[in-house]
Amino acid sequence: MLRVHRTKAQARASYDRMSGSYDLFAGAFEKRLRNLALARMDVAPGETALEIGCGTGHCLQQLAETVGPDGRVYGVDISPGMVAASRKRLARAGLLERVTLYRGDGAGLPLDDGQCDAAFMSFTLELFDTPEIPVVLGEIGRVLKPGGRLGVVSLAREEPLSTMVRVYEWLHQRLPRLIDCRPIYVEQVVAAAGFRIAHSEREGLWGLPARIVVGIARG
């Protein structure tokens, strides 16, 4: 997999700038993949769920509606602007009391061991540099209960590489601050972190392969 050369400070600044307009260019197909992944995770009323890279709060709202008044949702994002956008969305929906928001990093989650039934990441895992991916997944494994579910939506790297992926990776290497995501071996990194793969399906996103993976935390 390619490395990530943009710093976290640069990522934070970039997403802060985009926070007010992000929903204008986050396409309907990307939203469809997020909805598919959430459906595959089978989050239930009364559960505790976490989203890393919560962005403008679309999935947080869905999770809060799903877990109901007896459940709890946590959202983490590196960008203060995105956290503010999530807070506004949840407040408009009357769901803010069910959600705790943190401005933070998935490599160091502000949650206790075994606190969550489910965790979700959508086009976020591939933003972390290659050596940090197992750290992030290890943190998720720590905060999940035994048998808890991890849902990941990500650009996927597949062999042999398609022409579209080769072009995209070429652009990523030359414009890392603009094209920040890069395809990763989604199922492999989740399995290597100790999760049992319960579901994996291939989708496409703008001609690039994407994958929805659900992993189960081992006890």
Are 74 and 50 in contact by the 8 Å Cβ rule? The answer is yes
CB under 8 Å to 95, separation ≥6 — which residues? 61, 64, 65
Residue 75: per-residue pLDDT? 98
Average pLDDT over residues 21-43: 83
Q: Token pair for residue 90?
A: 């949840």
DSSP 159: S
What's the CA gap between 118 and 216, in Å, rounded? 9
For residue 219, the model assigns a pLDDT of 76
Q: Please tell me the predicted confidence (pLDDT) of residue 28.
A: 63
Nearest CA-CA partner of 136 in 72, 50, 203: 50
The DSSP secondary-structure symbol of 180 reads -
Banded pLDDT at 27 (limits 50, 70, 90): low
Q: Name the E strands within the chain.
A: 48-52, 72-77, 99-103, 116-122, 144-155, 196-205, 208-216
151 neighbors 119 (Cβ within 8 angstroms): yes
Q: Read off the pLDDT of residues 81-101 as tens digits, 9 standing for 90 and up.
A: 999 999 999 999 999 999 999
Q: Does the pLDDT at position 213 exceed 70?
A: yes
> Are 139 and 106 spatial neighbours (Cβ–Cβ below 8 Å)?
yes
Sign of CA dihedral 124, 207, 7, 21: negative
What tens digit of pLDDT does each residue of 186-211 get? 999 999 999 999 999 999 888 899 99
pLDDT digits (tens, 9 = 90+) for 131-176: 999 999 999 999 999 999 999 999 999 999 999 999 999 999 998 8
In this predicted structure, the answer to whether residue 177 has a pLDDT above a threshold of 90 is no
What pLDDT score does 67 carry? 98
15, 82 Cβ separation under 8 angstroms? yes
What's the pLDDT tens digit per position in 119-134? 999 999 999 999 999 9
* Residue 156 DSSP class: B
The yes-or-no verdict on residue 26 having pLDDT over 90 is: no
Q: How many residues does the chain have?
A: 219
Q: Mean pLDDT over all residues of the chain? A: 94
Domains and CATH numbers, the chain: 8-216 (3.40.50.150)
| Three-class SS of 38-70 | HHHHCCCCCCEEEEECCCCCHHHHHHHHHHCCC
